[in-house]
Chain A
Amino acid sequence: MLELAVKGNKWYWGWLIVLLGVIGAGFGLYLMQLKFGLGITGMSRDVSWGFYIANFTYLVGVAAGGVMVVLPYYLHDYKAYGKVTILGEFLAIAAVIMCLLFIMVDLGQPMRALNVILYPTPNSVLFYDAIVLNGYLFLNLVIGWNVLEAERNGVHYQSWLKPLIYLSIPWAVSIHTVTAYLYCGLPGRHFWLTAILAPRFLASAFAAGPALLVLLCLFIRRFTNFDPGKEQIQSLAKTVAYAITINVFFLLCEVFVAFYSQIPGHTTHLNYLFVGLHGHGALVPWMWGSMILMATGIVLTVTPATRKNETSLMIACIVIIMGTWIDKGLGMISGGFVPNPMHEVNEYAPTMPEIGITLGVYAVGALVLTVLYKMAIGVKEEVHG
């Protein structure tokens, strides 16, 4: 099927060249980081995880979000999604690849990364994270590729795929659960120390992942001969509506517990994020922006008229992606580290090289996604066109 990915118009090739350029620049900056150390980032003794881990966390969600098309199709036999499951699976592949790259660029000694396998440590959550992420990548590659190839050949996919498909559904939940467990099992980090963190991550994932899929479907319909379908897009939009509402509900539960109990350990991080602490409030405008974006997203996706109108739906998906990214990416990681265990406030902001490397990783993801989608759409055009 790879031959489908090397046949494209000038826009396709132009886009790939742009992505390669961004990847090259990001790689150059990464070499700089490799030489100097992680000191070229904005991270510090107090905020020891930053932009890389934040984006990693967000993208685990995007990867898990793919299950929102896989589950209805295979478990509920919702036939309409047959057209788009491959888009969810291929999005998951691109997202997991970015996750793994973000972990790699975050390591102080990346050449020692295999120590995680050489000295397997079952009491470390990172050990399980490595297993579930690589496993999810493998599952989606095998399932996505074989199902697509079967569709191209006009036959039913191999029967041995079925158990793998069923396995991939709880596996999607596991990747984001384990990622939340990285944070919520740490004593002394009260912002993360909440049993609702994994559910919250999943809610935000099931909003952001499908929202991105809606945007990709709209794009594909506009620029290719394959139409993912109106019904499919509307069903995805309903998933987004539920998930983003639940996400905000979970956040409000956190706010209630913190401010009704008034336990300082719980309120102090939220105070830092939303009103600032001891005169430090770099994230305050971002966090309120995130709230406004997510609230707008709820209004636009819950209201039938704006959900059914594809222009307003597009806007809704964009604001939801932005809102959840700020909430989970910027706020969740920095917010947990500020103030530090001694209640001192040292803020974090990513540096230019750090942002450049991040963009490089995103460009790798976009490249993988473009090539995979090119193949998928090529097959769909052959079969349906």
Chain B
Amino acid sequence: MKNSRRRFLQMAGVSALGLGAKPMLNAFAAGGGEGPDYHVATGEDALTAKQWAMVIDTRKLQTAEDLEPIVEACNKIHNIPTAIQNKNHEIKWIWETHYHNAFTDKTNNFLNEEVAHRPFLLLCNHCENPPCVRACPTQATFKRESDGIVLMDFHRCIGCRFCMAACPFGARSFNFRDPRPFIEENSEEFPTRMKGVVEKCNFCAERLAVGKMPACVEASKGAIAFGDLYDEHSEVRELLKENYTIRRKQTLGTEPSVYYIV
């Protein structure tokens, strides 16, 4: 009697171990790095691409006033808690900086004065080879296979901030506190976030899904182009063909999808 009970417990233990190993084996079988395996329906008007990319014509964005409506459009739609005063806890998806901060490896001592004073927009580069996705231990941040956007699952993120260390562009923000009281004007277009998760620009995936261009593109009055990097007739490819463009920290091999005309 005693022996058979013991035997039963042993078997139960071994079975439990087997069940526990199942998702582990699945992960190895799948090769890892893919997004959460739920089905996402595509809307009729949805805009699609192989790899979304952005070309920012900085010549058309000369002053801080030119950038303001662009940044504001994003902040408003995405419920960015802009009222947070503490710099440490700041959340930003798209923001303004100087040339020498944006292009740390392309700074000359005697830079063209106009460029040196021009404001530059920074945002997530939606890298083709994103180190943040590689680092995430739960696939809460993943590169969407259908269109190359690097997305966040706010409900899966455990807040380990490995992705923030991995991002060479400082594109990610962490909710150090509940962001909701600091949202100045609530938007219905995008969910608010909770404390303890990481967030960043999502190339307006929620707008593309209903046939709209990203908010910053719309607000830029033609200064920012958006399109499929692998469609040679797309607007971005036309611009890349006609203009000399630069990207941030190309040498790191992450293949940023945001291009700048200087």
Decide if A and B are genuine partners: yes
B100 touches A343 (CB 8 A): yes
Shortest Cβ distance from residue A206 to the other chain B in the assembled complex, whole angstroms: 26
Q: How far is the CA of A309 from the CA of B137 in the complex (A)?
A: 48
| A187 beta carbon closer than 8 Å to chain B | yes
Shortest Cβ distance from residue B197 to the other chain A in the assembled complex, whole angstroms: 6
A342 touches B27 (CB 8 A): no
A122 touches B88 (CB 8 A): no
A48 touches B161 (CB 8 A): yes
A186 touches B166 (CB 8 A): yes
Q: Contacts A37-B195, A49-B165, A188-B249; is A109 near B159 (CB within 8 Å)?
A: yes
| A120 beta carbon closer than 8 Å to chain B | yes
Knowing that A45-B92, A108-B174, A119-B27 are A-B contacts, what are 6 other residue pairs whose CB atoms are under 8 Å apart, sorted by A's residue number? A107-B160, A121-B136, A121-B139, A124-B136, A126-B135, A188-B131
Contact string against B for A residues 27-48, beta-carbon threshold 8 Å, 1 for contact and 0 otherwise:
0000000001111001111101
| A344 beta carbon closer than 8 Å to chain B | yes
- CB-nearest residue of chain B to A113: B158
Give residues of chain B (111-165) contacting chain A, Cβ–Cβ below 8 Å: 122, 131, 134-140, 156-162, 164-165
B101 touches A343 (CB 8 A): yes
Shortest Cβ distance from residue A241 to the other chain B in the assembled complex, whole angstroms: 34
Contact string against B for A residues 167-205, beta-carbon threshold 8 Å, 1 for contact and 0 otherwise:
000000000000000110011110000000000000000
B32 touches A107 (CB 8 A): no
A109 touches B134 (CB 8 A): no
Q: How far is the CA of A44 from the CA of B36 in the complex (A)?
A: 28
| A2 beta carbon closer than 8 Å to chain B | no
| B168 beta carbon closer than 8 Å to chain A | yes
Give residues of chain A (95-135) contacting chain B, Cβ–Cβ below 8 Å: 103, 106-110, 112-113, 115-127, 130
A39 touches B177 (CB 8 A): yes
Shortest Cβ distance from residue A280 to the other chain B in the assembled complex, whole angstroms: 14
B137 touches A38 (CB 8 A): no
Q: List, in ascending order, chain A residues with CB within 8 A of B131's CB.
A: 186-188
B174 touches A106 (CB 8 A): no
Q: Which residues of A contact B (CB under 8 A)?
A: 36-39, 42-46, 48-49, 103, 106-110, 112-113, 115-127, 130, 182-183, 186-189, 336-337, 340-344, 346
Q: How far is the CA of A112 from the CA of B160 in the complex (A)?
A: 10
Among candidates A36, A38, A116, A186, residue contacting B138 with C-beta atoms closer than 8 Å: A116
- CB-nearest residue of chain B to A129: B137
Q: List, in ascending order, chain A residues with CB within 8 A of B101's CB.
A: 342-344
Among candidates B20, B139, B164, B178, residue contacting A48 with C-beta atoms closer than 8 Å: B164
- What count of chain B residues pass the 8 Å CB interface test? 56
A45 touches B90 (CB 8 A): yes
A121 touches B87 (CB 8 A): no
Q: List, in ascending order, chain A residues with CB within 8 A of B27's CB.
A: 119-122
| B38 beta carbon closer than 8 Å to chain A | no
Q: Which residues of B contact A (CB under 8 A)?
A: 20, 23-24, 27-28, 32-33, 36, 86-90, 92, 97, 100-102, 104, 122, 131, 134-140, 156-162, 164-170, 173-178, 195-198, 249, 252-254
Q: List, in ascending order, chain B residues with CB within 8 A of A124's CB.
A: 134-138, 162
- CB-nearest residue of chain A to B91: A45
Q: Which one of B32, B137, B167 has the greatest number of beta carbons of chain A within 10 Å?
A: B137
21 contacts between A and B (CB under 8 A): A37-B196, A39-B88, A45-B92, A45-B173, A108-B197, A108-B198, A109-B159, A118-B23, A119-B23, A121-B32, A121-B136, A121-B137, A121-B138, A121-B139, A123-B134, A126-B137, A186-B166, A187-B166, A340-B170, A341-B169, A342-B97
Q: List, in ascending order, chain B residues with CB within 8 A of A346's CB.
A: 87-88
Among candidates A106, A122, A126, residue contacting B28 with C-beta atoms closer than 8 Å: A122
Q: How far is the CA of A126 from the CA of B136 in the complex (A)?
A: 8
Q: List, in ascending order, chain A residues with CB within 8 A of B249's CB.
A: 188, 341
B197 touches A109 (CB 8 A): yes
Q: Which one of B131, B158, B168, B195 has the greatest number of beta carbons of chain A within 10 Å?
A: B158
Q: Which one of A49, A123, A127, A340 has the greatest number of beta carbons of chain B within 10 Å?
A: A123
Shortest Cβ distance from residue B82 to the other chain A in the assembled complex, whole angstroms: 14
Q: List, in ascending order, chain A residues with CB within 8 A of B164's CB.
A: 45, 48
Q: Contacts A120-B24, A188-B252; is A126 near B100 (CB within 8 Å)?
A: no
Among candidates A43, A188, A343, residue contacting B176 with C-beta atoms closer than 8 Å: A43
- CB-nearest residue of chain B to A125: B135
A107 touches B158 (CB 8 A): yes
Q: List, in ascending order, chain A residues with CB within 8 A of B168's CB.
A: 186-189, 341
Shortest Cβ distance from residue B63 to the other chain A in the assembled complex, whole angstroms: 20
Q: Contacts A107-B158, A120-B23; is A44 near B87 (CB within 8 Å)?
A: yes
